[in-house]
Copies of this chain bind each other. A is one copy, B any other.
Amino acid sequence: MMTGEQYRRSMQDGRQTYYQGKRIDDITSHPDLGRVVDLIAAGYDRWYRPGEDVRHPLMSPPRSPEEMRERIPIMETLDVLTESTYQSMGTLATAAGRLRDEHPQIADRILAYLDDARRRDIRITECITDSKGDRSRKPSAQDDPDQYVHVVGRSDGGVIIRGAKLHITGASFCHDMMVIPTKRMRPGEDEYSIACMVPVASPGVQIVNVGFVPRTGDPRDQPASWAKAMFDGFVIFNDVFVPNERVLLDGKPELAAVFAHSLGLWERLGGVTYMVDQADEVVGLAVLIAEANGLSKVSHVREKIDELAIHATMLRAGLEAAISNAHATSEGYCYPDELYTNAAKYQGATGYGTMIRHLLDIAGGSVFTVPAMADFDNPELGANLRKYMSTSNTIDGEYRARLFATIRNLTADEFGGWRLIAMLQSGGGLFAQRIVARAKYDFDAARRRALKAAGLGDHVPPSAV
């Protein structure tokens, strides 16, 4: 396994990465990007165990609902990139299983890669969303044929790819990118049916970093920005050469969706777990700030907290139902029930705004206007700020100010904005969640029940939805 220090050095490999208009030669020493390197390195150190045969214990998917449930609190402690690595490895293992019978060579190549990646203890990110161009046209019918990553050349030892992938979590901070088709491909779209593992430092790979970092130098002002700093990558493939042993799929449109669908299974577990946790966190913040404001006995405040708690409970019910109705891949890996998972994600995403509104309504305007912690540290100001941010002898002014700052950070600055959008878009937007629900809900059973209610139990319904 790798140590944090080894990870740092591995980032200094000439990768072509940009930030705010500038090429960054060494991300480890950059004031903003370096923060993310620090977080990931700390994660390496936390899990490091010496020995040749040691592997990261989480880099294999759970094999039972119980194991799935037990891992939830552990997954929360991982940094986002390590979670992406976990999901990528689960995706590859699942895809290998699905391809085993008909395409044993591909399955073997995937497993060989996977063994090596686990041995080297590298971090991998999922590279799936293409730039897409006009969403109403298919890949081969775009004005610009490069709007979906595709093969533009071949040589003895590999393929040459071109295109761009968007919203790539931690692209500049990982070792390999799992480049897979964003969706089902059709006959004739052979060149778009490409899946491969691309080292970040490959010539021709450009990454533009977009993300959030703390605005002030004090973690008390923005605790989440400090703890969860991360950059998404806008990844451009300028005719990038990929050697054959890293090419997992090439030119079989009928197999293009295997990877995305496998990924979907592992993404869902993370997505809904995260939502459920956040919902409970919002309840907790609402309770604390209500108490700090002296409002916890006020009826309309209590009711808003009740609604927050019911919301959190229903999301958790979705997770519980998804786990207790878990399914297994043919390789015996467990994944949560997709219908319950997606329904919970849909509800979490559609309800998020109202929950945040309740929290902000309870908290009041100081969420935005609370002074910086540096102001509290200023000897001319500190005593006054503590005095006037206190609400009674039992509520300390700085404690209350930090609650406001935390709520602002989680809901009303760049981190809050990122979370709002992530709630809505991760794993596909609301429409995508609906489509999955549509595909998995048992409409035939519902129709039979309705026919029975109408006294038409014997009627054969005319057609399927």
Question: Which residues does chain B contribute within 8 Å of A133, judged by CB atoms?
Answer: 294, 390-392
Residue of B nearest to A318 (CB): B317
Q: How far is the CA of A367 from the CA of B23 in the complex (A)?
A: 23
For chain A, which range describes its interface: under 10, 10 to 19, 20 to 34, or 35 or more residues?
A: 35 or more
Asked if A410 is at the interface (CB within 8 A of a chain B CB), the reply is yes
Given A135-B295, A462-B291, do A20 and B380 touch, yes or no (CB 8 Å)? no
Asked whether, in the complex, the Cβ of B387 is within 8 Å of the Cβ of A291, the reply is no
List CB contacts (< 8 Å) of A304-331 with chain B: 305-307, 309-310, 312-314, 316-318, 320-322, 324-325
Q: How far is the CA of A247 from the CA of B137 in the complex (A)?
A: 49
Asked if A142 is at the interface (CB within 8 A of a chain B CB), the reply is yes
Q: How far is the CA of A398 from the CA of B461 in the complex (A)?
A: 13
Asked whether, in the complex, the Cβ of A318 is within 8 Å of the Cβ of B309, the reply is no
Among B146, B291, B314, the residue within 8 A (CB) of A317 is B314
Interface centre among A280, A343, A421 (most CB of B within 10 A): A421
Asked if A9 is at the interface (CB within 8 A of a chain B CB), the reply is no
Asked if A411 is at the interface (CB within 8 A of a chain B CB), the reply is yes
Question: Which residues does chain B contribute within 8 Å of A422, judged by CB atoms?
Answer: 368
Asked whether, in the complex, the Cβ of A318 is within 8 Å of the Cβ of B325, the reply is no
Question: Which residues does chain B contribute within 8 Å of A371, judged by CB atoms?
Answer: 18, 208, 210, 234
Asked whether, in the complex, the Cβ of B135 is within 8 Å of the Cβ of A374, the reply is no
Q: Mark A171-185, 1 if CB is under 8 A from B, else 0.
A: 000000000000000
Nearest first, the 4 closest Cβ-Cβ pairs linking A and B are A412-B417, A21-B374, A284-B450, A353-B353
17 inter-chain pairs at a CB distance below 8 angstroms, sorted by A residue, are: A20-B375, A210-B372, A223-B453, A277-B449, A283-B450, A291-B465, A310-B343, A310-B347, A310-B437, A316-B321, A367-B421, A368-B421, A368-B422, A399-B459, A403-B456, A406-B450, A413-B413
